[in-house]
Amino acid sequence: MMSCNRSVRRVAGWLAGSVVLLAAAAPAANYSRVCEPQIKPAFLPLPPGAVEPAGWLRDWAVAARQGITGHLDEYHLTFRDGWKGISIAVPGGEANGAGWPLEQCAYWLDGALRLGFILHDEALVQKIRARLDPVVDGVNKADFGTSLIYWRKGYKPEGFNGWAHSQLGRAMVALYLGSGDKRVLDALVKVYADYPSAMGKVPLVQCEVTGLCNLDAMLETYSLSGDRRILDRALAAMAQPEVVRDIRDWAKGSLPPGHMVVIYEDIRLPALVYPWSGDQRQLQATLGAVKWLDQNHMLPYGVASGEEFASGVGALRKTETCDVTAMLLTSSWMYRIQGDGDWGDRMERAFFNAGAAPIARDFKTMCYYQSPNRLRADSLPCEQPHSPGPAGTHFHQLGCPSVLCCVGAVNRIIPNYVIHMWMATRDDGLAATLYGPSTVNALAGPRVPVRLTTTTDYPFDENIRIKIEPQQQVAFPLYVRIPGWCQQAEIRVNGDPLPSRPDDNRFVKIARTWSAGDVVELKFPMAPRILRGFETEFPTADRGYFAFEPPAVFKPRRFPYASVLYGPLLFALPIADVDPNTPVKDARWQFALDVPRCQEAAGGKPRGGEALASGISVQRRSMPAHWDWPLDSPLRLTAPAQAFDWKPSDAQALPERPVTGDTRETIRLVPYGCTKFRISMFPVAAP
């Protein structure tokens, strides 16, 4: 079934920041694992730290370090004391040190550790290791079959604790990959070689989190260790009759509209097991679930709605910040398995838009929910508190202070994007999988160290320059992704143009012998696009959960909206802010997008609900010296609009049909991620 050659195992590791080699003897590909599945995933991830952010992206990552990610343990007991095996006097905390804090604190530990690796910030890595190493030691000193909750002797995590366990499992895998510390892998093997295969189900109803999410860390542990007991348990977990029943209809695009974090975490599980099981139906189940999200709950910033349940489409529908994190994680796994550049497009859309909006510019406060249109700091509807009430859209040091998942999960967004910007390929090449400024140190060809420096202001600019510096002259293929929205990409190597027609996975392969100083230049011309769709009713699943009223929100509806995209960016009409919780007074935002005038003279067929918009113009200025998602954006669009008397309510955010405005005007739009208050889902003006 799978190739696994333990006798030639060679594991060599260096500390964070340098390349970790985990490879069998030739002919195994660079970065392949001790055990590889029969169905080979397309990409091999590089260890955390191989890719380092640069330029504007580094500014943002450093802000995270100086803000919430670097200091969350100073803000709340949950993060100060989680995973210490002591009782924490907080909501949901159990006397035995388990419960809610384990989940929330694991999110933070995982994100902060990864941020430390990508920034090569030894102080941050050591700070998090001081929390994780005692868990590693605790497990290694305990009897075989303990869990990461090692202080509870003989305990097998179940229910919520199983879910929390899965989250720390991922942090442990990152710790091993980033440090090469064998004791960490020993601990993971000790835990997962005796982990119960009945670890959870995936019903996607209510808010039921599942311990089945341990499959991420389990399969990583197996591929890194070759301990067959782990694979047997993982395969048995997905073969449980209840689980098979739960996922039976996913391939047909039929899922219960459950809790969105749980949906995003659960839907990848069949695909995760598929390379090992060879069961195509598992891959199809995940792909069907993704399609279901696209068709029913996707918002223009690239992440589905979730208040807390799947909430349909609407301009005031909300997305929990945990959903952004989970979406990116699931997409990175799918990208790795399938190698399809469409996953890169999806991740960029989510990261550059939904990743930035819920975080303050200084990364010192964040909010639990974002919504495409944000007109006030307290969540609508205030008069009927729900999910979890008006604090949900308020920026605070802890997000929503009574529910700490999002302030934990937000720390994973930047490092998980950066880690996946470059991946290794099966033919010993390297692939540019997600764009942005970075430096990567990786092995290519016959294990030759190569440094690739990507200089770009992407996505705020369309030019990308990659300088290649191999330690010695070396032949290897370099794969570059051509974004799906890009019509006429240009590729040059040392100034000479190359054909830019992508393969079926939307990559162009550049196979040649590389010398120090070679330069690949990419140009991805961007053009404004209009995305059109409809506000839909709320699914009824969450009707009882937060007593959501009024009943009208559940009545079938199809109210038109239009959004503006440019490259991977969603654009919004900004409402200037005094601070993230205070919009300026008297801002004008009551506009319908004049779609007919936007599309004057635009050619081409709409693609996926999107059409080119020649009536929108672009203004570009140089980037600021320091990047903090400024409202005074270096990139702006000007679009035709019509002013009209618009009175959105939480029951109905958009007019029922296209409107005829009082005056024709021009509005200026900036990237959605630069705004704190905004309109990004517009009513549509009538022809």
Least distance in Å: CB of 398 to Zn ion? 12
Is 405 a binder of Zn ion (CB under 5 A)?
A: yes
- Is 685 a binding residue for Zn ion by CB under 5 A? The answer is no
Minimum distance from residue 577 beta carbon to Zn ion (Å): 23
Which C-beta is closer to Zn ion: that of 306 or that of 567? 306
Considering only 1-9, 127-135, 399-407, 658-666, which stretch makes contact with Zn ion by CB under 5 A?
399-407
- The smaller minimum CB distance to Zn ion, of residues 28 and 406, is found at 406
- Bond prior to 27 in cis (omega within 30° of 0): yes
| Segment contacting Zn ion by CB under 5 A, of 322-330, 371-379, 456-464, 582-590 | 322-330
Give whichever of 406 and 637 is closer to Zn ion, judged by the CB atom.
Answer: 406
Residue in 262, 343, 349, 357 with CA at minimum distance from that of residue 302:
349
Q: Which stretch binds Zn ion (CB under 5 A): 91-99, 219-227, 321-329, 475-483?
A: 321-329
Query: How near is the Cβ of 323 to Zn ion at its closest, in Å?
Result: 8
With beta carbons less than 8 A apart as the criterion, state whether 138 and 85 touch. Answer: yes
Minimum distance of Zn ion from residue 632's CB (angstroms):
30
Nearer to Zn ion, 220 or 320 (CB): 320
How many CB atoms within 10 Å of residue 635? 22
Q: Specify the stretch interacting with Zn ion by CB under 5 A; choose among 375-383, 398-406, 430-438, 501-509.
A: 398-406
Nearer to Zn ion, 322 or 448 (CB): 322
For 325-364, b/e burial (b = at least 16 CB within 10 A) is: bbbbbbbbbbbbbbbbbbbbbbbbbbbbbbbbbbbbbebb
User: In this chain, which stretch among 2-10, 128-136, 228-236, 400-408 interacts with Zn ion, using CB under 5 A?
Assistant: 400-408
3-class DSSP state for residue 212? helix
* C-beta of residue 419 within 8 angstroms of C-beta of residue 440: no
Q: Does 410 bind Zn ion (CB under 5 A)?
A: no
Provide the minimum distance between the beta carbon of 368 and Zn ion in the complex, in angstroms, as a whole number. Answer: 6
Cα 38 from Cα 522, distance rounded (Å): 35
Which of these segments, 57-65, 107-115, 397-405, 520-528, binds Zn ion (CB under 5 A)? Answer: 397-405
How far apart are the C-alpha atoms of 302 and 348, rounded to whole Å? Answer: 9
Least distance in angstroms from the C-beta of 41 to Zn ion:
29
Give me the torsion for CA of 15, 70, 219, 449, rounded to 10°.
-40
Q: Which tokens go with 616?
A: 């929108």
How many Å apart are CA 287 and CA 268, to the nearest integer?
9
Long-range own/partner contacts, residues 237-242 (CB < 8 A, 24 or more apart) = 237/197, 237/198, 237/199, 237/200, 237/212, 238/212, 238/269, 238/270, 238/273, 238/277, 238/282, 240/197, 240/198, 240/201, 242/201
For every residue of 227-285, which 3-state class applies, written as one string? CHHHHHHHHHHHHCHHHHHHCCCHHHCCCCCCEHHHHHHHCCHHHHHHHHHCCHHHHHH
Residue 406 interacting with Zn ion (CB under 5 A): yes
Segment near Zn ion (CB under 5 A), from 77-85, 110-118, 316-324, 424-432? 316-324
Least separation in angstroms between CB 320 and Zn ion: 5
Which helix H or strand E contains 162, and what residues bound it?
A: helix 159-179
How many Å apart are CA 376 and CA 354, to the nearest integer?
A: 18
Residue closest to 233 by CA, chosen among 265, 255, 207, 200 = 200
Of the candidates 511, 10, 82, 433, the one whose C-alpha atom is nearest the C-alpha of residue 226 is: 10
Beta partners for 523?
463, 490
* HSE (side-chain half, CA atoms, 13 Å) at 277: 19
89-148 residues near Zn ion, rule: CB under 5 A: none
Smallest gap from Cβ 557 to Zn ion, in A, equals 27
Give which of 194, 238, 247 is closest to 216, Cα–Cα. 238
Residue type, 75: Y
**Which CB, 322 or 478, lies closer to Zn ion?**
322
Q: Of 388-396, 403-411, 455-463, 608-616, which segment contacts Zn ion by CB under 5 A?
A: 403-411
Closest CB 321 distance from Zn ion, rounded Å: 6
Smallest gap from residue 262 Cβ to Zn ion (A) = 11
CA dihedral 552, 557, 562, 563 (to 10 degrees): 60
Q: Do the bridges between strand 577-579 and strand 569-575 make them parallel or antiparallel, or are there none, so unpaired?
A: unpaired
> Judged by CB under 5 A, does residue 323 bind Zn ion?
no
To Zn ion, the closest distance from the beta carbon of 328 in angstroms equals 14
Identify which range of 297-305, 314-322, 431-439, 507-515 contacts Zn ion by CB under 5 A. 314-322
Smallest gap from residue 488 Cβ to Zn ion (A): 40
CB 310 within 8 A of CB 257: yes
Instruction: Find the shortest distance in angstroms from Cβ 257 to Zn ion.
Output: 18
Residue 601 CB-density burial (10 A; 0-12 exposed, 13-18 middle, 19+ buried): exposed
* Number of Cβ atoms within 10 Å of the Cβ of 499: 7
- Residue 299 touches Zn ion, criterion: CB under 5 A: no
Smallest separation (angstroms) from Zn ion to the CB of 406: 4
Helices 280-296, 269-277: crossing angle, 10 deg rounding: 160
Closer residue to Zn ion in complex, CB, 142/322: 322
Cβ distance to Zn ion smaller for residue 320 or 650:
320
Q: Which is nearer to Zn ion, 107 or 417 (CB)?
A: 107
- CB nearer Zn ion, residue 81 or residue 320: 320
Q: Is residue 320 involved in binding Zn ion (CB under 5 A)?
A: yes
Of 302 and 459, the one with the shorter C-beta distance to Zn ion is 302
As a whole number of angstroms, the distance between CA 317 and CA 325 comes to 18
List phi, psi (to 5°) of 342: -60, -35
Whole-angstrom distance, CA of residue 449 vs CA of residue 469: 9
Q: Indicate the residue among 227 and 323 with the shorter CB distance to Zn ion.
A: 323
If one asks whether residue 322 binds Zn ion (CB under 5 A), the answer comes out as yes
The piece of 76-84, 129-137, 313-321, 505-513 that touches Zn ion (CB under 5 A) is 313-321
Q: How far is the CB of 322 from Zn ion (least distance, A)?
A: 3
CA distances to 135, 252, 272, 457, 507 from 287, in Å: 36, 9, 12, 32, 21
Of 100 and 343, nearer to Zn ion (C-beta) is 100
Q: Minimal distance in Å, beta carbon 327 to Zn ion? A: 12
Q: Which is nearer to Zn ion, 113 or 405 (CB)?
A: 405
Size of the site for Zn ion (CB under 5 A): 4
Whichever of 46 and 406 has its CB closer to Zn ion, that residue is 406
Question: Between 545 and 554, whose beta carbon lies closer to Zn ion?
Answer: 545
From the list 175-183, 318-326, 467-475, 653-661, the region that binds Zn ion by CB under 5 A is 318-326
List contacts with Zn ion (CB under 5 A): 320, 322, 405-406
